[in-house]
Amino acid sequence: MDVLTVNNLCKSFGGVKAISNISMSIEEGEIVGVIGPNGAGKTTFFNLLTGIYSPSSGDITYNFKKEISSRDFKPFKMPKYGVSRTFQNIRLFKNMSVLDNILIGYHCNLNYGILPSLFRLPSFYRNEEEAYEKAVELLKIFNIYDKKDELAKNLPYGEQRKVEIARALAAKPKVLLLDEPAAGMNTNETKELTKLINWIKDEFSLTIILIEHDMSLVMEICNKIFVFDYGTLIADGTPQEIQTNPQVIKAYLGGE
Amino acid sequence: MKFLNKKNIFNLILILSIYFIVEFLINRGIIDSYIILNIVVIGVNIILAVSLNLITGITGQFSLGHAAFMSIGAYASAIMTAKLGQPFIVGIIAAALSASLAGIIIGIPTLRLKGDYLAIATLGFGEIIKIIGLNNDYIGGATGLNDIPQYTNWTWIYFCVVITIIIINNFIKSYNGRACISIREDEIASETMGVNTTYYKILVFTMGAFFAGIAGALYANYFYFIRPDSFGFMKSIDILVIVVFGGIGSVLGSVVGAVMLSIISVFLQNIPELRMVVYSVILFLIMVYRPQGLIGKNNLRLFKKRGVLNGCAHSK
Amino acid sequence: MILEQIIQQVINGISLGSIYALIALGYTMVYGIINLINFAHGDIYMIGAYIGFALTTFFKLNFLSSLIISMLLCSILGVLIEKVAYKPVRNSTRIAALITAISVSLFLEYGMMYFVKPETRTFPELLPDKQIHIFNTNAVLDFKNLSIIVITISLMLILQYVIYKTKIGKAMRAVSLDSDAAQLMGINIDKTISSTFAIGSALAGAAGVLVGVYYNSINPLMGVLPGLKAFVAAVIGGIGVIPGAVFGGFFLGITETVISAAGGSLYKDAVAFAILIIVLLVRPNGLLGKNIKEKV
């Protein structure tokens, strides 16, 4: 079952064509990799998928219980629809605690309104407790429960990445977009991350799309890989197919 | 955590005790009208500072036009009580609602602005409102409005201050408050995580204006007399100094800051120019040596400046 | 009749616009280089006026000498303010720097008020009271108007030369585009920033003296409103863009004068702020500014 369909997607900024004619479909439960040289348009693609940019032409459709088309995309609505993401340069809320960061991830699932907040009505206490329990669950899964009251900016880099992923999961998404989750990690950390991504995919029934430069990670866990270059899709297929694709090799290593 | 737990009951008893003790002292004449005057000034400043802190400290929307909300509230209440002979509660409600309306009107167009630009735009709005006030004869123009009935007393000021602090504090310590703080920390990430930043920005402007309007009403109905010039850019700066001094983002800081700076003001009131000089030096020293203010959390940053210069060994 | 009114207002508008432009240049140069709205800039203009007043009243100097000395002293003041107040917060948040600038502004205003008392002072008559009639109508080009316009244009030409033909000017342009790269290329950031403040403050000082000569009266708070309006002018033209400040200054000066003459004089101060808000909403980078988006 296709959970995401992209049709002839194009995005230009002024005169610059960042993305041209991207079409793809992604099935539920897949782990899909998006790779390509720097500047190929991968993060722009993610920004289009999460409503931060709107398409210049073409469209994006998520097939959840309802169909959601790029015409209705608004960044803050995406988590409620079921789409959540992390960022290339970790965007945690630095001066908030780890727990609070996760609770923000849970924000779209809370809606007890202003009045209960201001006047401390019972629904306030009920909802906050529920949110707290869910957050604690995630903290324990990611092994950062003991750091829950620590300010996010004080955590080491690897743990900050974990918090960001946990925060994205708190939204209870169906599709999770990870933008270079392994950036800055060494081999061991990357191996752990690989295991983690596989595990959360099953545990939370996710479809995962990830941008990565670390080929060991990509080849290991992706069912399908899409290769970007200069804003276009130059190849797609299984890891084996991509590894032997002459276009891909040329894009990464340069021509003969 | 239920509503009627030990902590809340204790707080309730504390709040009521303070009220009755002071009320008793006033009735016995031990607290005279001079002290009451200062209590009113401090109370008004607390409400102004806490409400500005919600907009600027918690949500990171730098607002330099807060005094304009106060002035709208002051005039609304003055018109209701002096010109239309209504009781004080009507004045206060009119003040709060009209100021809130102004908050929405100012909040919406300034949504896309950030940092410096937002500051200047709010300053501009504040000045425009002042100029409109100066040129409006119904409310007395530049000479202002006088003969405003003095309705503000200990009861009114105390409970308005307490209610303001409780409501704003409750707001901050809820998922709404968390959302606002996340907007301050990283607006794009916040939006991506599901926070409707537009809604919250307008909401805090409206709430902040609401309480500033009440402060204006309390002010007008104590000092008999108001003019547009008392509510200009300088007053907005006054409130900002309190917020910064007490600690951006800290409700307790705003309360403490308001108390301390009001008292310092009283001591300096015979030399008004020197008061501003002292204020400016205080402001400067805080920004350089303790930007988080008296009670603020350590190293609280509103917007981080990027670049090599931050991590550079090049000395200051 | 109408024509001569229009010509007269245009002349007045251009004179007023020159003042705004001179002050706006300082704002825009400083913002371009360290991303700071120098709230104290309007007060440097005020101090320039007072220095001019002191020089002409107590030292009996003539117009040009007072102008030059005032510019020099203001430029030293500007550099001093930067070193003492702004350098320590250079790596702080924007809001911290803004609040610091506000504190310096208040310090200058009320410090001045404390020392020279808040009454307005009057400049002595420095310039001959000659007038030129335009096209034999009643519209007059005062000698004062002429001096303002001539001096403003000369200063701007000198500025152009400095920015585009000198080494320090090149350094200023480089730092405002990318301060990290400039530093890596060996440009002394501190010196460059100081020079920017020096030049901007000199221009503000000149504006102060010109205003003292033109309007004759000065007071310690005279810098507040023109300072804000000059900032608006800089934003209109595009903050950080030097020709923008000039354009914005003249645009605001002429608009304000025309609206005032058309009967809206009570609201003329609101004009600047209304334009500011419109510009910020419609084209926040100003009419000549660049469009920079944040990278996600």
**Three-class SS of chain C:** CHHHHHHHHHHHHHHHHHHHHHHHHHHHHHHHHHCCCCCCHHHHHHHHHHHHHHHHHCCCCCHHHHHHHHHHHHHHHHHHHHHHHHHHHCCCCHHHHHHHHHHHHHHHHHHHHHHHCCCCEECCCCCCCCEEEHHHCCCEEEHHHHHHHHHHHHHHHHHHHHHHHCHHHHHHHHHHHCHHHHHHCCCCHHHHHHHHHHHHHHHHHHHHHHHHHHHCEECCCCCHHHHHHHHHHHHHHCCCCHHHHHHHHHHHHHHHHHHHHHHHHHHHHHHHHHHHHHHHHHCCCCCCCCCCCCCC
Residue of B nearest to A105 (CA): B193
Identify whether B274 is part of a domain: no
Selected residue of B56, B186, B277, B302 to mutate for chain C interface (largest C Cβ count, 10 A): B277
Does B190 contact A93 at a Cβ distance shorter than 8 Å? yes
- Evaluate whether residue A18 is within a structural domain: yes
CATH number at residue A205: 3.40.50.300
Does some domain include residue B139? Answer: yes
Chain B contact set for C179 (CB, 8 A):
307, 309
Between helix B33-52 and helix B154-172 the angle, nearest 10°, is 20
Domain residues for A108?
Answer: 92-171
Give the domain extent around C85.
2-279
CA gap A137, A150 in Å, rounded: 17
Residue reference for tokens 């907005």: B236
Structure tokens at A41: 């348009």
Q: What is the pLDDT of residue A249?
A: 81
Mutate to test the interface with B, among A73, A76, A102 (most CBs of B within 10 A): A76
Q: Are residues A110 and A1 in the same domain?
A: no
pLDDT at C171 exceeding the cut of 80: yes
- Chain B residues within an 8 Å CB radius of A87: 189, 192
Distance CA A75, CA A84 (A): 10
Computed on alpha carbons and rounded to an integer, the radius of gyration of chain B in Å comes to 20
The pLDDT value recorded for residue B297 is: 63
Q: What is B96-147 written as a DSSP string?
A: HHHHHHHHHHHHTGGGG--HHHHHHHHHHHHHHHHHHHHT-TTTTGGG-B--
With CB atoms and an 8 Å threshold, state whether A93 touches B197: no
Which residues on C lie below 8 Å from B115 (Cβ)? 94-95, 98
- For residues A181 and A249, membership in a common domain is answered with yes
What pTM was computed for the model? 0.88
More confident residue, B274 or C104: C104
A185, A165: one domain:
no
Report chain A residues whose CB lies below 8 A from the CB of C296.
Answer: 43, 47, 52, 87
Alpha-carbon distance values, B161 to B82, B213, B293 (Å)? 23, 13, 22
Same domain, A63 and A190: yes
Q: Same domain, yes or no, for A253 and A215? A: yes
With a cut of 80, say whether residue C128 has pLDDT above it.
no
- Give residue for tokens 């000498």: C65
Place of tokens 């005039």: B75
Are both A165 and A178 inside the same structural domain? no
Query: Distance between CA atoms of C296 and C292, rounded to whole angstroms?
Result: 12
How, if at all, do strands A2-13 and A57-63 pair? Answer: antiparallel
Question: Does residue A181 share a domain with residue A76?
Answer: yes
Do the beta carbons of residue C61 and residue B140 sit within 8 Å? no
A247–chain B nearest CA distance, Å: 34
Q: What tokens were used for B124?
A: 């501009």
Q: How far is CA C263 from the centre of its chain?
A: 27
Please name the member of C96, C110, C281 whose beta carbon is closest to the beta carbon of B273: C110
Q: How far is CA A149 from the centre of its chain?
A: 25
The CATH number given to whatever domain includes residue C32 is: 1.10.3470
Q: Hey, of B284, B285, B289, B300, which one would you mutate to test binding to chain C, going by the most C CBs within 10 A of its CB?
A: B284
| Domain, as residue range, for B202 | 34-230
Q: Which of A91, A107, A120 is facing B179, going by the closest CB pair?
A: A107
Within-domain flag for B267: no
In a domain, C284, yes or no: no
CA distance C251 to A1: 61
Return the number of CB contacts < 8 Å for B and C.
Answer: 149
Identity of the amino acid at A205: S
A128 contacts B175? CB cut-off 8 A: yes
Q: What is the residue whose two structure tokens read 């991350």? A: A193
CB contacts, 8 Å: A52 with chain C: 296
Of B119, B121, B288, the CB nearest to C89: B288
In this structure, what DSSP letter does residue B226 have? Answer: B
Q: Structural domain tally of chain C?
A: 1
Could you give the ipTM of this predicted complex? Answer: 0.90
Distance from C-alpha of C227 to C-alpha of C267, rounded to nearest angstrom: 18
Check if the beta carbon of residue B229 is closer than 8 Å to that of residue B92: no
Does a structural domain hold residue C79? yes
Tell me the one-letter amino acid at B90: V
Helix (H, G, I), strand (E, B) or coil at B248: coil
Residue C296 near chain A (CB below 8 Å): yes
Nearest to A95 among B178, B193, B301 (CB): B301
When divided into structural domains, chain A yields a total of 2
Q: Which residues 42-61 of B are in CB contact (within 8 Å) with C?
A: 56
- What is residue C137's predicted lDDT score, i.e. its pLDDT? 65
The per-residue b/e assignment along B122-159, b for 16 or more CB within 10 angstroms, e otherwise, is bbbbbbbbbbebbeeeebbeeebbeebbebbbbebbbe
The structural domain count of chain B equals 1
Domain ends where: A171, A186, A219? Answer: A171
Please check whether residue C293 lies inside any domain of the structure.
no
Note whether residue A87 is domain-resident: no
CA nearest to A53, candidates A73, A77, A36:
A73
CA distance C1 to B270: 54
- Indicate the range of B42-46, B47-51, C29-33, C198-202 predicted with least confidence: C29-33
Distance CA C35, CA C93 (A): 11
Nearest to A118 among B3, B167, B190 (CB): B167
Report the residue of C31, C38, C91 to disrupt the B interface, i.e. the one with the largest count of B CBs within 10 Å. Answer: C91
For residue A107, the chain B residue with the least C-alpha distance is B194
Contact B181, A96 (CB under 8 A): yes
Do A84 and B193 count as a contact with CB atoms less than 8 A apart?
yes
8 Å CB contact of A117 and B174? yes
Q: Is residue A109 part of a domain?
A: yes
Q: Is C50 a member of any domain?
A: yes
Question: pLDDT tens track of chain A, all 256 residues?
Answer: 889 999 999 999 888 889 999 999 999 999 999 999 888 889 999 999 999 999 999 999 999 888 888 888 999 999 999 999 999 889 999 999 999 999 999 999 988 888 888 988 888 999 999 999 999 999 998 989 999 999 999 999 888 999 999 999 999 999 999 999 998 888 898 998 999 999 999 999 999 999 998 888 999 999 999 999 889 999 999 998 988 888 888 877 654 4
Sheet containing strand A31-35, edge to edge, reads: A83-85, A175-179, A207-211, A31-35, A224-229, A232-237
Q: Is B267 helix (H, G, I), strand (E, B) or coil?
A: helix
A57-63 and A83-85 strand pairing: unpaired
List the pLDDT tens digit at each of the 316 positions of chain B. Answer: 456 778 888 989 999 999 999 999 988 888 888 899 999 999 999 999 999 999 999 999 989 999 999 999 999 999 999 989 999 999 999 999 999 999 999 888 888 887 778 888 898 899 999 988 888 888 888 888 888 999 998 999 999 999 999 999 999 999 999 999 999 999 999 999 999 999 999 999 999 999 999 999 999 999 989 999 889 888 998 899 899 889 988 999 999 999 999 988 888 887 777 888 888 898 899 888 888 888 866 544 443 333 322 332 333 2
78-137 in chain B: CB under 8 A from chain C: 109-110, 112-113, 115-117, 119-121, 123-125, 127-128, 131-132, 134-135
Contacts of A110 in chain B (CB under 8 A): 175
